[in-house]
Amino acid sequence: MKYKFNNNWTTDNGGVDLNSKEVDRYILVTPSENQIRLAEKPFYCFIHFGMNTATAREWGTGSETPSDFTIKSIDAAQWVKTIKASGATGVILTCKHHDGFCLWESDYTDFSVKNSAFQGDIVKMVSDECHKQGIDFGVYLSPWDMHDERYGTEAYNDYFCNQLTELLTNYGEVFEVWFDGAKGSNAVKFEYDWERYYAIIRSLQPKANIAICGHDIRWVGNEGGKTRKSEYSVVPSCLCDVEKTMKNSQQDESQASSLQKYKSTDEDLGSRKVLEKNAYLSWYPAEVDVSIRKGWFHSDNENKTVKSSKKLFWLYLNSVGKNCTFLLNVPPAANGVIHSKDVRSMKGLGKKIKALTENPILIDKPGRLSDDNGYIDFNFDRERKLNYVILKEDISFSQRVEAFDLYIRKSNGTFKKVFGGTVIGSQRIVCVKGKKCVGARLVIRQSRSNPVIKSIGFYE
């Protein structure tokens, strides 16, 4: 055999402690029930729709009037059907974007669909449709509001809480509340009453995760689909600091696409080197938000920028397959439907995601590995063309694996390394590109205490 495999790997463990007080401190950080539920349904969609759809802008100006919302009808059934076809399991609707216009008939402002040409409540139409077609519903409510006169005074916090209460009371179960960190650089200085907002969410929708300016879901840090080589879920608690998130978020309308460029500054958020310097740690998994087109809102000028299903699938593998959740934005047009180009890509994506696990070769549930489980062998029934390997840690025991390798075993008995990776986390998808083999070997090189592998699946 060309490679040396160490059965009793725990004595080596990459030269770092397998068990120690410090390691215990890391693995004691585990997800909440809500975070576990989200990790099990890691792909969902954004719907950016509102005043900006009618005016073909990204941010609006704050001086629009309800009559500028010229859209008269929407086909919510088509929206949800399109999203379901992609394999996504939820929708987050921009109930109010930075321009302040509300897609529901709020009792606390005149600036809503109520006073426009639109007949009805768009939040109700979309949430009803989600419930009808069996997918989750979530809300985006922009804290920054360019229109409302109360913004900048304590009365705005009351207004925001009232709106949050409406959204979390009248539209059934809400799976995620998305608080955007974006705020114009010239906006008045104002302290949002986050603790009050969070208390309302926890009491009215205890199953909802709070994203971005919240403590349940971390923004991956860019809007281009880039994830880190090692995306850790156990990170320093200071990353939950809302002010820090806001500083990195969009601060100008024209930045809509510049955030699609990658920043690599904060590449390491959760290695031992980082954690040992931080007294407080949190389970704060990353969410990748990307738009299917150049902008977040639909504009006919950007129909050429619709991403192909191949590109979307790559984004899926690079997020869902790398311990992140994936929030893909699909913005309907001003005629009330999602454009046929976007529909085509979404359908294509759905097919690709389905095909990923359509032909299982073997699925195993190893559980907690023992000291002499340095490697585990898997024997296939016959020679197979291996395409994907899907690994999952049991994250209720935290995120433990720090380095692993995958080998295939050829029909002549030799091993060939096909992948060397770092973290696994809730899900790691490894592409093997149809290599012929009769078995495989998973080698754990480094871990925080003994790994707990929930499952490993091999797919043709």
**What does the alpha-carbon distance between residue 418 and residue 428 come to, in Å, rounded to a whole number?**
14
Tokens representing 372 are: 């002499």
By CB under 6 A, residue 249 contacts ligand FUL:
yes
How many Å is the maximal CA-CA distance in the chain?
Answer: 75
Binding-site string for ligand FUL from residue 58 to residue 87, where x marks contact by CB under 6 A and - marks none: x-----------------------------
Could you tell me the smallest distance in angstroms from the CB atom of residue 313 to ligand FUL?
21
Could you tell me the smallest distance in angstroms from the CB atom of residue 218 to ligand FUL?
14
Residue placing its CB nearer to ligand FUL in the complex, 58 or 145: 58
Residue placing its CB nearer to ligand FUL in the complex, 183 or 384: 183
By CB under 6 A, residue 101 contacts ligand FUL:
no
By CB under 6 A, residue 180 contacts ligand FUL:
yes
Could you tell me the smallest distance in angstroms from the CB atom of residue 48 to ligand FUL?
6
Query: Exactly one of 129, 136, 148, 289 binds ligand FUL (CB under 6 A); which one?
Result: 289
By CB under 6 A, residue 296 contacts ligand FUL:
yes
Tokens representing 243 are: 């002010």
Contact 224, 290 (CB under 8 A): yes
Could you tell me the smallest distance in angstroms from the CB atom of residue 195 to ligand FUL?
22
By CB under 6 A, residue 99 contacts ligand FUL:
no
Query: Exactly one of 250, 323, 387, 450 binds ligand FUL (CB under 6 A); which one?
Result: 250
Q: Is 375 helix (H, G, I), strand (E, B) or coil?
A: strand
**What does the alpha-carbon distance between residue 92 and residue 135 come to, in Å, rounded to a whole number?**
11
Could you tell me the smallest distance in angstroms from the CB atom of residue 333 to ligand FUL?
17
- Angle, alpha carbons 301-306-49 (nearest 5°): 70
Residues that bind ligand FUL (rule: CB under 6 A) add up to a total of 7
Closest chain position to ligand FUL (CB): 182
Could you tell me the smallest distance in angstroms from the CB atom of residue 120 to ligand FUL?
23
Strands annotated E in 40-184: 43-47, 90-96, 136-141, 176-179
Tokens representing 87 are: 């394999």
Nearest alpha-carbon partner for 112 in 168, 55, 64, 181: 64
Contact 47, 342 (CB under 8 A): no
Contact 124, 170 (CB under 8 A): yes
Contact 451, 13 (CB under 8 A): no
By CB under 6 A, residue 213 contacts ligand FUL:
no
Residue whose token pair is 């309800």: 66
Could you tell me the smallest distance in angstroms from the CB atom of residue 272 to ligand FUL?
32
Report the number of secondary-structure helices (H) and strands (E) in the chain. 11, 17
By CB under 6 A, residue 402 contacts ligand FUL:
no
Could you tell me the smallest distance in angstroms from the CB atom of residue 289 to ligand FUL?
5
Query: Exactly one of 182, 235, 353, 453 binds ligand FUL (CB under 6 A); which one?
Result: 182
**What does the alpha-carbon distance between residue 324 and residue 423 come to, in Å, rounded to a whole number?**
12
Query: Which residues of this chain interact with ligand FUL, rule CB under 6 A?
Result: 58, 180, 182, 249-250, 289, 296
